[in-house]
Structure 1
Amino acid sequence: MPERQRADARRNYAQILAVAEAEVAVHGANASLEQIARTAAVGSATVRRHFPTRRALLEAVSRKRIEALSVRARELTGRGDSRDALLDWLSDVVAYSVSARGLAAALTYDAPVHENSCSAAMEQAGEPLLRRAIQDGAVAAEVTVADLITLVVGIVLATEHHPDHATRADRLFRLAVAGLSPPVTP
């Protein structure tokens, strides 16, 4: 939000965002924009002026979570085994996406593809982890952070209605990482 906005516009933005965070926490990506407007005590036109699309609202709601995951990626960069560091971060992305309703939807791409600030931030955060794992030969060279985020988003969205979605999402993530082959015994 530009700082040059009037004080009342800044207050409206902050109020709408606070209400949207609460609504998305309860209803996920399908939170009602009209309910957000009512609860924030502003008109729906005011909500749409600040957030012209549902995606813009979800991205704003998810910004703090994305920043926390970016900090976590920086903490893991250069530490220990490169594959483990990457998988620890991705596991955090899965767990955060499960607990923070709406985050997975904010990470998806729309057609036609447009700039997605959440996905761009996640790709930037994960790139050093992935690059190091590729250099170490721990991950295939053709893998991209976008591939990994898409995998996480798919798992989270596919499990969001499961009775124990956190456990199910983690299990599917571990399965995707391990592959379908049985473990090799020495």
Structure 2
Amino acid sequence: MSSHSAGPAPGSEPQRRRRADAQRNYDQLVAAARAVFHDHGVDAPLDDIARRAGVGNATMYRHFPTRGELIIAVYSEEVAELCAASRSLLAEDPPDDALFDWLRNFIAHVTTKRELALSITDDSTGQRPALFDRWHHSMHAAASALLTRAQNAGTVRADLTASELLALANGIALTTTDATQAERLVLLIRQGTDTPSTPPPRELRTPSPRPPY
């Protein structure tokens, strides 16, 4: 897993320190699976993933004995990248722009990774609830940090919670298929959460007209 991971993916491989070559194979398999799942869906042949990663089938099954474990590893990486984006945006100004930039990332994540998430089914170990609890906590913490920063700057309503914001964003992701409509809904949420002193959203700002002389 990459260094920004939200944590190792339970159920993928025993949580022990891998040798450098084993870690390289693991990373290549996860990267290949992400690309293949994106292009061909989660039912794509596993042989295609092994070929794309440049490893043999035996190596792939040693790391990921089942398709489900590979899907978990891929989705965990997607969540980790989303959370890493929030940490980067904590250094960006203005704070409200950073918050809503991440919210757009979250909406894109829910829209494009929903098939992956729905493919993670429970098994005899009952690990699915624990996985989703951990991922939910990671995304909630990411949103909360950005929201608190914007609230401290006085640009977002103080009574807004991260759970409310994520619920609204999740609704946009699940009910819209048009990017233009999704962006309009994000702007409507933003306008509804602004404080009286908040400057207009970056997307609505226009340069001052030049004088005619």
TM-score range, shorter chain: 0.5 to 0.7
Aligned to 1:182: none
Does the 8 Å contact 1:12/1:42 carry over to 2?
Answer: no
Q: Which amino acid aligns with 2:39?
A: V
Distance 2:162 2:115 in 1: 15
- Tell which structure's C-alpha radius of gyration is larger: 2
Encode CA deviations 1:20-44: one digit per residue, 9 max, x unaligned. 12123325xx522x62454214267
Structure 1 segments unaligned to the other structure (5+ residues): 180-186
After the TM superposition, which residues 88-99 of structure 1 pair with which residues of structure 2 at under 5 Å, given as runs?
88-94=101-107, 96-97=108-109
Does the 8 Å contact 2:79/2:135 carry over to 1?
Answer: yes
Distance 1:6 1:85 in 2: 38
Distance 1:61 1:128 in 2: 19
CA RMSD of aligned residues (A): 3.9
Q: CA deviation at 1:12?
A: 3.3
Q: CA deviation at 1:67?
A: 1.3
Q: CA deviation at 1:133?
A: 4.1
Aligned to 2:130: 114
Q: Which amino acid aligns with 2:182?
A: A
Given candidates 133, 140, 156, the residue that maps to 1:138 is 156
Q: Which amino acid aligns with 2:112?
A: R
Encode CA deviations 1:73-101: one digit per residue, 9 max, x unaligned. x123xx44x5454334323443x537x83
Secondary structure of the corresponding residue to residue 109 of structure 2 = helix
After the TM superposition, which residues 13-52 of structure 1 pair with which residues of structure 2 at under 5 Å, given as runs?
13-27=26-40, 30-32=41-43, 35-40=45-50, 41-42=56-57, 45-46=61-62, 47-48=64-65, 52=69
Normalised to the residue count of structure 2, the TM-score between the two structures is 0.55
Does the 8 Å contact 1:58/1:103 carry over to 2?
Answer: no
Does the 8 Å contact 1:155/1:169 carry over to 2?
Answer: yes
Q: CA deviation at 1:71?
A: 0.8
Q: CA deviation at 1:102?
A: 1.5
Secondary structure of the corresponding residue to residue 67 of structure 1 = helix
Structure 2 segments unaligned to the other structure (5+ residues): 2-14, 51-55, 123-127, 193-213
Q: CA deviation at 1:105?
A: 6.0
After the TM superposition, which residues 102-181 of structure 1 pair with which residues of structure 2 at under 5 Å, given as runs?
102=113, 113-116=129-132, 117-134=134-151, 136=154, 138-141=156-159, 143-159=160-176, 162=177, 165-178=178-191
Normalised to the residue count of structure 1, the TM-score between the two structures is 0.61
Higher helix share: 1
Aligned to 2:203: none
